[in-house]
Amino acid sequence: MPPENYATYREIKSQTEAWRNALAVVNGALLPDATRYEQIIFTGCGSTYYLSLAAAALYQELTGCAACAVPASELLLNPQTVVQVGRAASPKGDNLPSLLVAISRSGTTTETVKAGEKFKAERHADVLVITNYDTTLANLGDVSLVITGGQEESVAQTRSFASMYVAANAFCARLAGRRDLLDAMNKLPETGDWLISHYEAFAKEIGESLDSDRFYFLGSGIRYGLACEANLKMKEMTLTHSEPFHFLEFRHGPMSMVNEKAVVVGLLSESNFSHEQAVLNEMHALGGKTVALAELDADVSFESRIPESVRGVLYLPVLQLMAFYRSLAKGLNPDRPKNLTAVVQLDM
């Protein structure tokens, strides 16, 4: 069956329109005043937890204010490990130490909805929602950023994740007062279209090579959450052993798994390029196949001239296509990964 027959393929290829939608929604929204909050907590489940990791790192980098990411299940079941006891806001709203940013593709994921309800009720605190559907979670939010252009048919998140990630980046830039970054983000869709057309054949070649039986995705700083998400796509769509790591942490034990059957994918930064490329060079010397993604001088070069802090979405399309083509090569259905559903709803 040709790639075009799969929803996943169509959603990967069309995602840049959802990026435009995300930018329009965030630019048109009335967002909270960042100075009201001592801390921002980002939360989600699965892919949106990994998105939360990336967003929290970016928020703290741009604003200098404390931010963290936590799975919604932990916020729900173990809140004492996330939010300081005794720091709840007053019911009058004169003290709001925390803002919760709840992220969910469907807006109906049980843990995320329950965590948001509990956080708002017990802490009298604000909740901002990023989602693709105007459903339960969106109705809970004091502010809701609904990116309808990211809606999708397939189970594994591709277009939806990318659209919400762009929205989260734009949210961080706005709260940091960085109009320059928001303006620069307008170039993302055009650059994304070029990357998809220019590197699809490369992604197909890597994905279809079944000589490899394990993948490692390396990313540090604001890119670690993206490495986690790329790893998840490889697991979900291709049932292949896959793990994410911070770049330099990979030397501390995990590199023992590298051999001629390993693919080590690096999401390289500008600021730490030499240190991160050195890790990939070492893995290549151990026999692994290495794939580098970066602004310049890489197997996949963005050539975007967009500031590093807000161009992270450019790492995603080629890695998503890599997983898609591997799924087909293994005779699997990328639209319907084994044992998974598009929405996880629990009796809690």
Q: Is 266 exposed, middle or buried (0-12, 13-18, 19+ CB in 10 A)?
A: buried
pLDDT of the residue at 84: 63
Instruction: Give me the pLDDT at residue 125, please.
Output: 81
Mean pLDDT of 68-94: 75
pLDDT per position as a tens digit, 261-271:
999 999 999 99
Predicted confidence at residue 278, as pLDDT, reads: 98
Summarize the confidence of residues 102-131 as an average pLDDT.
92
* pLDDT given at position 83: 75
For residue 343, what pLDDT band results from cuts at 50, 70 and 90? low
Give yes or no for residue 14 having a pLDDT over 80. Answer: yes
Banded pLDDT at 341 (limits 50, 70, 90): low
- As a whole number of angstroms, the distance between CA 108 and CA 131 comes to 10
Q: What confidence tens digit (pLDDT) does each residue in 287-318 have? A: 999 999 999 999 999 999 999 999 999 999 99
What CA–CA distance (Å, rounded) separates 341 from 338?
9
Q: pTM value?
A: 0.95
Mention every residue, 6+ apart, whose C-beta is less than 8 A from residue 157. Answer: 46, 47, 48, 105
- pLDDT exceeds cutoff 80 at 226: yes
Q: Which residues pair with 289 in a beta bridge?
A: 263
User: Does 3-185 carry CATH code 3.40.50.10490?
Assistant: yes
- For the segment 84-105, the average pLDDT, to the nearest whole number, is 69
- State the span(s) of the chain assigned CATH 3.40.50.10490: 3-185, 188-329
Q: What stretches of 64-104 show up as alpha helix (H) in DSSP?
A: 72-77
- CA triplet 46, 157, 165: central angle to 5 degrees? 80
Q: Which CATH superfamily is domain 188-329 in?
A: Glucose-6-phosphate isomerase like protein; domain 1 (3.40.50.10490)
Separation of alpha carbons 166 and 20, rounded Å? 9
